[in-house]
Structure 1
Amino acid sequence: MLTVATLAAVAFVTWAIAGGGQGGGATPVAQVEAWAGALTHTAPEPEPEPDAEPTTAEAGFDLTALSTTDPASPWVVVNKQHPLTPSDWAPDDLVAVDGVQVRAAVATDLEAMLEAAAADGVEILPRDGYRSYAGQAAARAAVEQRRGFEHAERYSARPGFSEHQTGLALDVDSASNPSCDLQTCFAQTAEGRWVAEHGHEFGFLVRYTPENTETTGYAPEGWHLRWVGRDLAGWMHAEGRTSLEDVFGVPGGSTYLEQ
C-alpha cells in the first residue's frame, strides 16, 4: 500500500518534470492530497464484522439472574427430578391470604390477582398454599388411599418434591362451579379460564398444562398456580413458553429421582 511519504516523492518528481510550477501543474502538496483522496474512495476500510447474537440479558431478559436450585429463589425448579434441598426446607416468611399461607413476596400479587378477577366478576377461591414436608406426605398418602398409587403419581408429588413446600404455589377453587374443584374440568370454568388468560399479569403460571405434561411429569392441573414474579411470567407468556423446565433447560419427566 502506498504511504503518504511515497506519494509525496512521486508528486515532487511529477511536479519537477512538469516545470516546477512554471507549466501550471499542481504543487506536490496539492497532488498528494488529490491522490490520497482518490485512494480513500477506491480502497475503503473493510466493514466491521456484525455483532454476535445478543445474549439473553442483552436481548432484554436475563434468565441467569436468579437461582433455579435455591429453594428460597422465586425461580426454583421443583419437579420429579429436582427435589428440594434440603428435603425438609421451609420458608421463614409465610403470610396468610384468604386463609392460605404463601411467601410474603407472593402475597401482594395474589391479593391483586383476586381483586382483579373480582372486578371482572370472577371469584377465585384460594384452597391450599404452603405445605410442609410432613403436610405433603399426609396429602400424598390421602390421595393414594382414595385413588391409588398410579393416580397419585400423576397428580400428587411425593414429599420433598412438591412446589407447595416452597410457599410459591397454591391451588384454587371455582366459585361458579365447585363440582370442578381439583378436576380436569376446572380449566373450563370461569375461574380456570381467567387464571389461564390473566395469571401472568400477576406473576403466576398455570404450572401443569396439557401441552407440557410430558415435560413436567404431571397431568394437567388448571387449578395449580405457581408464582415466579411478574417479569418472568410476562416474558414466558410473550414467548409462548409454558414450562420452567423448557425455559431454564432443566430435566423433568414422569420418573422420580432415586434418593
Structure 2
Amino acid sequence: MGFQYDDDVPVAIRSEVPAPKARTNRLLPWAVGGAIAVVAIGTWAIVQRPTTNPDTAVTPAETETAPSEALLGHRPYADAPAEVLTPLASNPDIRLRSPAAKAFDNLQAAAAREGIRLLPLSGFRSKQDQQALFFDVKAERNQSVTERASVSAPPGYSEHHTGYAIDIGDADQPATHLETTFEQTAAFRWLQANAKRFSFELSFPRNNSQQVSYEPWHWRFVGDVESLRLFYGDRGTPAAQ
C-alpha cells in the first residue's frame, strides 16, 4: 500500500487544503526510514550471500570419494584390475602388473646369471586375501591391532593391492623368508646393489617415517607413471605396504 502524496491531489482541490505541507512533513520521516531499512536489508543480503563459485564448489559426492586418511601408518589402495595383472615367468601363481612382472622377470634372470636365486614369495593380493592375512593371523598370534599393523597392512591399505609390490626370498635360504634375517643373505645384498636398475625399491627401510616394521623382503616397482602416482603423488613420503 503506497502513501498519497500531494502531487496525487488535483490542483483545484489542493488549493483548498489548509495545510498539505504539514501532512507531507509527518510522512517524510517514515518514508526516509523505510528507504534506509530497504537499503540496509539489501546490503545485509549481499554480505550474507555465499561467494563460492558454483563451478568449483565441492559436491557431497566428491567429498565422499576423496582419498581416505592413513590407517595405523598405512595408506589406502584399490585392488588392481584383473586385466592388468600378468603371471611371473618363474611362478604363474604370482601376478604383478604387466610392467612390474616383466621387470621382475628381468631382475630375476640377471641375478641368476650371477649365481643368485631370487624367489618370488607374494605379489598381488586382493582386499579379501588381506582380510584373512591381517585379522586371522592377528587372532592366532593374540596381537593388538597396532601390533599387527606394524608388520601387516589392514585390508584396503596394502601395497600388494596395487599389483606393484612383491615379497622376495633367497631360494638357497628358505629359513629367512619373510624374516628380517633376509638382510643377511646374498639375495638381499644383490638386491641392494642392483634392484634400482630394474626400477624396484625397498618399501620399508629401517626407521621409516610410517613406523612400519623393517621389511627387507618387501619391494615395489616404481618404473611407470601409474606406480609413481600411487606411491608418491601428493604424498611426499613413501606409501604403505
Q: TM-score range by the shorter chain?
A: 0.5 to 0.7
Matched, 1:92 2:88: no
* Aligned equivalents of 2:167, 2:74: Cα separation in 1: 22
**Which residues in structure 2 correspond to 1:77-156 (within 5 Å)?**
80=73, 82-84=75-77, 87=78, 90-97=81-88, 98-99=90-91, 100-147=94-141, 148-149=143-144, 150-156=146-152
Question: Residues 232-256 of structure 1: CA distance to partner in whole angstroms, max 9, x if unpaired?
Answer: x9xxxxxxxxxx6699525979xxx
Per the TM alignment, residue 194 of structure 1 is displaced from its structure 2 partner at its CA by 1.3
RMSD: 3.2
Contact 2:72 2:149 in 1 (8 A): no
Per the TM alignment, residue 202 of structure 1 is displaced from its structure 2 partner at its CA by 0.3
SS of 1:216's partner is: coil
Matched, 1:249 2:236: yes
> What runs of 5+ residues in structure 1 fail to find an aligned partner?
1-68, 71-76, 234-243, 254-259
Per the TM alignment, residue 197 of structure 1 is displaced from its structure 2 partner at its CA by 1.7
Per the TM alignment, residue 81 of structure 1 is displaced from its structure 2 partner at its CA by 5.3
**Which residues in structure 2 correspond to 1:214-233 (within 5 Å)?**
215-229=209-223
Per the TM alignment, residue 176 of structure 1 is displaced from its structure 2 partner at its CA by 2.2
Q: Which runs of 4+ in 1 moved over 4 A?
A: 244-248, 250-253
Per the TM alignment, residue 82 of structure 1 is displaced from its structure 2 partner at its CA by 2.9
Per the TM alignment, residue 152 of structure 1 is displaced from its structure 2 partner at its CA by 1.5
SS of 2:83's partner is: coil
Largest Rg, 1 or 2: 2
* Aligned equivalents of 1:123, 1:222: Cα separation in 2: 16
SS of 1:105's partner is: helix
Task: Provide the identity percentage.
Answer: 30
Superposition TM-score, scaled by structure 1 size: 0.56
**Which residues in structure 2 correspond to 1:203-218 (within 5 Å)?**
203-212=199-208, 215-218=209-212
> What runs of 5+ residues in structure 2 fail to find an aligned partner?
1-65
SS of 1:113's partner is: helix
Superposition TM-score, scaled by structure 2 size: 0.60
Matched, 1:159 2:155: yes
Per the TM alignment, residue 187 of structure 1 is displaced from its structure 2 partner at its CA by 1.1
* Aligned equivalents of 1:188, 1:247: Cα separation in 2: 35
Contact 2:74 2:210 in 1 (8 A): no
> Alignment length, in residue pairs?
165
Contact 2:74 2:158 in 1 (8 A): no
| Counterpart residue type for residue 203 of structure 1 | S
* Aligned equivalents of 2:127, 2:112: Cα separation in 1: 33
